A and B are shown apart, each in its own frame.
Chain A
Amino acid sequence: MNESTAARPRALDAVAAASSESRRRAARRAESLFGAVVRTAAFAAILVIVLIFVFVGREALPLLWQDATPGHESETVTWSSLAGPTTYPDRPPRHVWQPVSTVPKYNLAPLVVGTLKTTLVAILFAGPLAVLAAILTSEFAPRWVSQVVKPTIELLAGIPSVVLGFFALMVLATWLQQILGVRYRLNALTAGIGLGIAVIPIIYTVAEDALAAVPRSYREASYALGASRWETAVRIVVPAALPGIFAGLALGFGRAVGETMIVLMASGNAALTTWPLTDSVRTLSATIAAELGEVVFGGPHYRVLFLLGVLLFLFTFAVNLAGELTVRRLRERLGGRA
C-alpha cells in the first residue's frame, strides 16, 4: 500500500496532462454528437409511428365526409350504421357485420365485442399464471429450477403465432370441448387461451425482471426482522415490483389486442354480439387480415377496414397509456418524491 501512495502523484500528473484543453474539447464534441444521434433516433421512431397512423387514418377518413351517392344510399357508411344496430322489418334489430352482401352492413360492435372477449380471456388466463410463475421462480424455486423454467418460458415467445394458432385450433379446442361440452369448438375461450399462451412470456419476462430488480437490501431488512420468505415476497418484494408487473400486464394486453393469427384460426370468426365466452367471435385484427385482400380498392369496405385499423391503433395506444400512467403513479407512491 505504501508504494502506491508514492506512485500516485505521477499517475495524477498523467491524468492532468491527458485532460488538456484540446482533448476536453474533443470529448465535448463527441458528447454532443452522441446526443444528436440519440435525439434523431428517438425522433425517427416517433415519426414512423405518426406516419403509420396518418397513413391508416387517411385511408379511413373519407368515410366520414362522403355524401350519399344517389341511388346507393343504403350502401353508404354512416356513423349510425357503424355503431347502431341494423333494423329489420320482420326481426328484432341486431348488430351485424356483413360486409359482403347485397346490402353491406358494417356494424363495428361485434368486432369490438369479439376483441374485448378474447383479450380479456387471454389476460385473465395469462396474467395470474405469468405473474405467479415469475414470483415462484424469482423468490421461491431453487436456483436450478429457475434456470430451467425461465428460459423455457422465454422460449415460448419464439414460437410463431401460426403454430400457437394451430395448437389452439387442433388440441386446445378439443380439450375445451371435452371438458366444457360446448357446442362450437372455436370460440372466444379457445382463442383467448391460445392468445394467453402467446402473452405469457411477455408478462413473465417483464414481471420477472421487475422482481429481480428489487434490491437485495429490502429482502435482507425483512428477513432481519424475522419475516419468512412468504411474508417477504408478498409484503415487500411484490409491492416493490408492482410498477414493473403492471407494465408487463399492459404490454401483454397490447399484444393480445393486436395479435391476429391465433384469433383468426381459433375464434370461429363469427361476428356475434353475445355474452357467453363459448360463442364464436370475430376480432378487429382477424377481420382486417381476412378481408383486406379481397376488397375493392378505395370502396366503403376498404375504408371501413382501415377504420378498424385506426380503432386497433387507438385501443392499443389507450391500453399502453393507461398502463404507463398506472406505473408512474405506483412509482411515485413508492418513491416518495413525486
Chain B
Amino acid sequence: MDAGAEATPVKVSARDLDVFYGATQALHGITLDARANRVTALIGPSGCGKSTFLRSINRMNDLIAGMRRQGTILLDGRDIHDPDVDVVDLRRRVGMVFQRSNPFPKSIYENVAYGPRIHGVSDRTTLDEIVRTTLEQAALWDEVKDRLGASALSLSGGQQQRLCIARALAVEPEVLLMDEPASALDPLATARIEELIHELKERYTILIVTHNMQQAARVSDTTAYFYMGRLVEMGPTAQIFTNPSKQETEDYITGRFG
C-alpha cells in the first residue's frame, strides 16, 4: 500500500499556504501534496487547523468574513484562486462531507438530487439513476430504497452521514473532503463509512480529517500531522504510525500528548 502511495499523480497541492482569521493566523506555510486515488489523513489536536486546511481546498473559507489567505492551492496543477476559476465549478469538482451530518430538510431523494439539479440536470430518469447509483455507492440504497420520499431528517445519524456522502458524490466530484465524517457515529456505522472510503478511493482523491488514530491507520495511505497551524510531518501512513521521524508526532499518536 505505501509503495503505491507514490505512484499516482498529485491531485491537490498546497504551496506555502497561510490562512488568517482576522488577526489570528490559523495556518502557517502549509505545503502538502495529496495524490489521486489515495486517502490522505489529516490528524492533529483540536484547533490545529485541519478543518481550515480542508475548507481552503474548496474555498469554503471565502464565505468567512475577515478570512485572509497567502500562498496557493493547485488542483491538477492549476491555481484554484486564478481569477478565471469558477468557484461553482471548483466546488462541484471538490466535494465535502461535514463533521456533523447536515442533510437538507427535504426528502431523501431531493437531498441527493439537489446537486445535480443546480448543475442543470432536470431529466427525471437521469436524476433517478444518479440517486440510485450514488446511494448504492454510499451503501445506503438498500436501507432507503422503499422510502426515498421520506424526510432525510427521519434517518438515523449514521444513515444521515451516508446520505451526505451520497449527496456529495452526486455531482461527480474528483476530490472528496471529509471532516471527521464518523465522529458522531457508533462503531458499526463507523466501520461502514470506513469500508465506504476504501471503495471510494478507486475513483476519488480523498482527504479525511480524523481524531481517531486507528481510523487514520486503517483508511489512509498517507498521513499528515498538524500542530498549531503547521504541518509537522507527513508520510506514508504505515511509516508515520510505526516509525515517525518527529518526537511530537509519536507523542500525539501514542496518546502521550498534552
Q: Which residues from chain A sit less than 8 Å from chain B, CB to CB?
A: 1-2, 143, 215, 217-218, 220-228, 231, 235-236, 239-240, 333-337
Contacts and interface: CB of A to CB of B under 8 A. Distances in A.
Contacts of B150: 336
B96 A224 contact: yes
Contacts of B9: none
B211 interface: no
Given A235-B114, A334-B151, A226 B98 contact: no
Nearest to A219: B63
A226 B88 contact: yes
Interface string B227-240: 00000000000000
B102 A221 contact: yes
Contacts of B202: none
Contact of A334 (B60, B91, B105, B168): B105
Contact of A227 (B98, B118, B152, B164): B118
B132 interface: no
Contacts of A222: 104, 114
Contacts of A235: 114, 118
Interface string B96-113: 101010111110000000
A223 B96 CA distance: 10
Contacts of A224: 58, 60, 91, 95-96, 98, 168
B60 A220 contact: yes
A220 B63 CA distance: 9
Interface of B: 58, 60, 63, 65, 87-92, 95-96, 98, 100, 102-106, 114-115, 118-119, 150-155, 164, 167-168, 171, 258
Contacts of B103: 221
A143 B65 CA distance: 10
Contact of B60 (A223, A228, A231, A333): A223
B119 A221 contact: no
B146 to A, nearest CB: 15
Contact of A335 (B58, B87, B88, B153): B153
A227 B171 CA distance: 11
Nearest to B65: A143
B98 A221 contact: yes
Nearest to A214: B105
Nearest to A2: B258
15 contacts: A2-B258, A215-B102, A218-B102, A218-B104, A218-B105, A224-B168, A225-B114, A225-B171, A226-B115, A227-B118, A236-B104, A240-B105, A335-B151, A336-B153, A336-B154
Nearest to B89: A226
A335 B102 contact: no
A123 B58 CA distance: 43
B171 A334 contact: no
State the 6 A-B residue pairs at the shortest beta-carbon distance, nearest first.
A336-B151, A336-B154, A217-B102, A334-B105, A226-B91, A336-B153
A225 B168 contact: yes
Given A215-B102, A226-B90, 10 more contacts: A1-B258, A2-B258, A217-B102, A223-B60, A224-B96, A224-B98, A224-B168, A226-B118, A227-B88, A227-B118
A69 to B, nearest CB: 62
Contacts of A215: 102
Contacts of B118: 225-228, 231, 235
Nearest to A228: B88
Nearest to B171: A225
Given A227-B118, A335-B151, A336-B151, A217 B98 contact: yes
B59 to A, nearest CB: 9
B60 A336 contact: no
A235 B104 CA distance: 10
A231 B117 CA distance: 10
Contacts of A2: 258
A228 B88 CA distance: 7
Contacts of A218: 102, 104-105
A224 B62 CA distance: 11
